[in-house]
Amino acid sequence: MDIPYTVEERPDTGLNNAKLGIWLFLASEVMLFGGLFSAYIFLRIGAPEWPGTMAGQTFATSFEVLNVPIGTFNTFVLIASSVTMVMSWASLMMKDFKKYKLYMGLTILLALAFLVVKGFEYGGKFSAGMFPSESTFLAIYFTLTGLHGLHVIGGIVVNAYFWGPGAKMWETDPDRFTNRIEIAGLYWHFVDLVWIFLFPTIYLL
Amino acid sequence: MADSEKDHGHHHEESFIRKYVFSTDHKVIGIQYGITSLLFLLFGFVLMMMMRWQLAYPGEPMPLIGWMFGESTMPDGVMLPEFYNQLGAMHGTIMVFLGIVPLAVGAFGNYVVPLQIGAPDMAFPKLNMASYWVFFLGGVTMLISFWVPGGAAKAGWTSYPPLANIETTGQTMWLIGMIFLITSSLLGAVNFITTIIQLRAPGLTFMRMPFFVWAQLVTSFLLLLAFPPLEAAGVLQLMDRVADTSFFMPTGLVVSGEVMNLSGGGSPLLWQHLFWFLAHPEVYVLILPAMGIVGEIIANNTRKPLWGYKSLVYSVIFLGFMSFIVWAHHMYITGMGTAISTFFQLTTMIISIPSVIILSALFLSLWGGSIRFTTPMLFALGFLPMFGIGGLTGLPLGLAPPDIHLHDTYYVIGHFHYVVAPGTIIAMFAGIYYWYPKATGRKMSDMLGKVHFWGTIITMNGIFMPMFIQGMAGVSRRLYDGGQLYDLAEPVLHWNEFMSISAWLLGLFQLPFIWNFFYSIKKGEKVDDNVWEATTLEWTATTSPPLGHGNFEVLPQVYRGPYEYSVPGAASDFIPQNDPEEHQSVAEEA
């Protein structure tokens, strides 16, 4: 039994199943992060001072608490990984499997770099006694970036599968494999986009 | 074992486990969802029957089963208040998230939708399997929570903080269980929408889809977009509970006379907003599939097209859209400003319009039909007035002035139970009797079905009608003793015993159904592929039960709308959707 429109597009909708599926999934993700951003706005409007007092110190602005240069660096790391993700898909479109392996490998490495930097940032906060329980600001910072981090890890797992064992499909069904990389790319760009909103909202505003 | 599996592999036969446990066939998954959710409905109902003992006879030891419980829940058979709260919270959670949603969407949606649109399966069969097993894990988590220290969740199905934040471990289990259930719903919703949009048979345009498919499509959009904010809220509450954050804990919160040692700065109202942003659309998740089922059965048993098919479709879409902007009508007593309150009163009044259109169209469909009083039709007809009562009693709750009096009284309980119990659950029974021959090739007994119908509908009214009386008198919900401590409850207190006896009788009248359900699998009357002489594809394009995985021998082609009953000039009184022939219409010539 074959499910229709797994690879080819349905003529009247102009979509294949996976592409519609991923856009629907991303719509639900928008609502998830939308809910959290709304919670952030709700709490911040109600707060007498922001970011306020934590670990015995009072801060007037969020960039005194968080490290903006590191955050900026990480932003560029993620944007670069989005670029290599597109390149890996474009390589498949041009039937260049070796280039695909290279760019997909780079995407995974950049994502890991992002997590390592994030790990050092978290470590610095913890050693300074800044835990989520210290203030609403830190609570929302750790929750939002933590959930985003989980999404990054999810992306790494998916991309690593397509770089390693999943890449066998290139031999048997190259069109479907190319589709899969496009779908994985859409997810990856979304994770990137969430950070693009997260960074200014939490670090700069 | 390993050898036999190998042999099976050579013959391309599926092993028992592949075929019935970890199946990717939408029909098997639908039945898995159906049986699991019916068991949870029964379990949730048993919890309520226990609570009704405490409400009718407060402080008296429970007969028959009271001795089975331990010192920490029911010493000497007398229910402790803590245990009453666990039963109440878990009754709501189980009925909504583990009973009705998986039955309405997981079971009926999975089994019927691909057949009705002429698809070989769901668009993502493996994802479909995953969503069932994630749902199952969520259910197991909820069940296990009864045995953790302090017992299951006690803060109601709404899990309002600060209470939910400071309660025992059961509350954390509740959150983890909910995150499983939400994930399962999200996977399911993506699958349903993709299936309905992408896998419709050739010729099955959107305006030729059966009303049930439309209802499922809108329901899936609600699940897709409304559940994530609750997931967000769940993550925040989990952080509050395990990482000591204060998202929902205000500064200077005093619990049992002591100021809590927290950073503060949070807001309990934030939870209410996020929760009801899900939970109002959730109400429509509960009712839309029910309306879809009733629509199918009414068209089939009146032998005429649904009245106002297009108005029904547009109303369902509009209802789905509006359900996202009415949530704060659950929060009128939180002290919101008049401007905001006016907005939500207005949207609430507007959303009642499509509901009324749908109910009216279903009623008008009966006009002039030659009604067949089959068992599914009895249940479908029972749904109409019951949902009418449930809907109309909701109007006073949608307006702030009467709501301030009625809020959190038994009136509210009566209102939403009328929508969900004699409304949705009755429609679910209708669906079970209607599609049972599809899944088994046999009919359930009509005699037992009628006993089940009359017993159920009468006792349900016996339970829920007195709630309006108690509620208007001012009796609060969630009272451990049913209101004995309050003078105002005195004149209406005697209803408690009446309601409880009705509830136990309702339990008794489910026995014929349970017997009928299992007995008919092997011993029911064998019937034709299209036993109800229906027009839609699940009956006309495949056998009952359908062929194995793949459903159709040849994928069907659709030529006409879903309800071509009693077409003037046609040879029979129904024309299947996949019938290619032109039928001379007398009406057209005239």
For B288-320, write each residue's pLDDT tens digit. Answer: 999 999 999 999 999 999 999 999 999 999 999
Sequence-distant contacts of A15-20: CB under 8 A, at least 24 apart? A15/B197, A15/B198, A16/A179, A16/B198, A17/B123, A17/B124, A17/B194, A17/B198, A17/B199, A18/A179, A18/A180, A18/A183, A19/A179, A19/A182, A19/A183, A19/A186, A20/B193, A20/B194, A20/B197, A20/B198
Residue B8 confidence (pLDDT) above 80? no
ipTM for the predicted complex: 0.96
Single out the residue of A149, A131, A46, A41 nearest to residue B245, CA to CA.
A131
In a domain, B365, yes or no: no
| Residue B579 φ/ψ region, left for φ over 0, alpha for ψ in the -120 to 50 degree band, beta for the rest | beta
> What is the average per-residue pLDDT within B374-397?
97
Sign (positive or negative) of CA dihedral A125, A131, A135, A139 = positive
CB nearest to A25's CB, from B190, B267, B270: B190
How many C-alpha atoms does A196 have within 13 Å on its Cβ side? 11
pLDDT for B4 beyond 50? no
Residues 6 or more apart whose CB falls under 8 angstroms from that of B573 comprise B303, B533, B565, B566
For residue A5, give the chain B residue with the closest CA: B198
Residues B187-208 have pLDDT tens digits of: 999 999 999 999 999 999 999 9
Nearest by CB: A32 against B194, B231, B244: B231
- Name which of B106, B98, B103 is nearest B130 in CA terms: B106
Cross-chain Cβ contact A139/B247 below 8 Å: yes
Chain centroid, CA A198 distance in Å: 10
Q: Which residue of B has its CA nearest to A25?
A: B190
Is B529 within a domain?
Answer: no
Residue B542 lies in a domain: no
Q: Do B189 and A28 touch (CB under 8 A)?
A: yes
Token pair recorded at residue A161: 């599968």
Q: What are the tokens at B131?
A: 């969503």
User: How far apart are the C-alpha atoms of B219 and B303, rounded to whole Å?
Assistant: 27
Alpha-carbon distance of B399 to B118, in angstroms, equals: 44
Contacts of B331 in chain A (CB under 8 A): none
CB contact under 8 A, B273 and A31: no
pLDDT value of position B12: 54
What was the pLDDT predicted at B263?
Answer: 87
Cβ-Cβ contacts under 8 Å for B220 (sequence gap 6 or more): B105, B109, B188, B189, B192, B193, B196
The number of folded domains in chain B is 1
**pLDDT over 80 at B486, yes or no:** yes
Min Cα distance B286 → chain A (Å) is: 20
Per-residue pLDDT at B2 exceeds 90: no
Please report the pLDDT score of residue B20 as a whole number: 86
Q: Are B83 and B74 in contact (CB under 8 A)?
A: yes
Give the mean pLDDT of B429-454: 97
Q: Name the CA radius of gyration of chain A, rounded.
A: 20
Alpha carbon distances (Å) from B127 to A21, A153, B122, B184, B557: 11, 20, 9, 9, 27
Residue of B nearest to A19 (CA): B194
pLDDT at B3: 40
The answer to whether B175 and B152 are in contact (CB under 8 A) is no
Residue B44 lies in a domain: yes
* CA B413 – CA B397 distance, rounded (Å): 11
pLDDT-derived band at B588 (thresholds 50, 70, 90) equals very low
Q: Does residue B340 lie in a domain region?
A: no
Mean pLDDT over all residues of chain B?
Answer: 93
Burial label, B220 (beta-carbon count in 10 A; 0-12, 13-18, 19+):
buried
CATH topology of domain A69-204: Four Helix Bundle (Hemerythrin (Met), subunit A) (1.20.120)
Predicted local confidence at residue B576, as pLDDT: 95
For residue B5, pLDDT beyond 50: no
Q: Which residues are CB-neighbours of B1 under 8 A, at least 6 positions away? A: none
Mutate to test the interface with A, among B24, B27, B186, B194 (most CBs of A within 10 A): B194
Write the pLDDT tens digit of every residue in A25-44.
999 999 999 999 999 999 99
pLDDT at position B427 is 98
pLDDT of B586 reads 46
Structure tokens at B219: 């329901």
The closest CB to that of B224, out of A10, A16, A28, belongs to: A28
Q: Is residue B586 part of a domain?
A: no
Give a yes or no: residue B264 inside a domain: no
Give the range of the structural domain holding residue B47, as residue numbers without chain letter: 19-115+126-199
Residue A49: pLDDT over 70: yes
Interchain pair B549, A1: CB under 8 A: yes
Residue of B nearest to A52 (CA): B265
DSSP secondary structure string for all residues of A177-188: HHHHHHHHHHHH
Report whether pLDDT(A17) > 60.
yes
- Both tokens of A1, joined, read 């039994």
Query: Could you say which of A21, A34, A132 has the minimum Cβ distance to residue B239?
Result: A132
What residues in B contact A147, CB-CB < 8 Å?
235
Q: Which residues of B touch A19 (CB under 8 A)?
A: none
For B121, the closest of A1, A46, A47 (CB atoms) is A1
Q: What is the average pLDDT across A142-146?
A: 97
What pTM does this model have?
0.95
Shortest Cα distance, chain A CAs vs residue B269, angstroms: 10
Asked whether the beta carbons of residue B549 and residue A29 sit closer than 8 angstroms, the reply is no
**What are the structure tokens assigned to B541, written together?**
């394009």
Residue of B nearest to A22 (CA): B190
Q: Please report, rounded to a whole number, the percentage of residues in chain B having pLDDT higher than 70.
A: 96
Would the pLDDT of B122 be above 60? yes
Q: Which residues of chain B approach chain A closer than 8 Å at the C-beta?
A: 119-121, 123-125, 186, 189-191, 193-194, 197-199, 224-233, 235-236, 239, 243-247, 262-263, 265-267, 270, 273-274, 277, 549-550
pLDDT of residue B11: 44
Within 8 A of B123 by CB-CB distance, chain A residues are 3, 5, 17, 21
- Residue B402 belongs to a domain: no
Size of interface A-B (CB pairs under 8 A): 135
Nearest to A3 by CA among B446, B354, B127: B127
A49 CA to centre of own chain: 30
Q: Where are the domains of chain A?
A: 69-204
pLDDT reading at B134 higher than 90: yes
User: Region B16-31: what's the mean pLDDT?
Assistant: 92
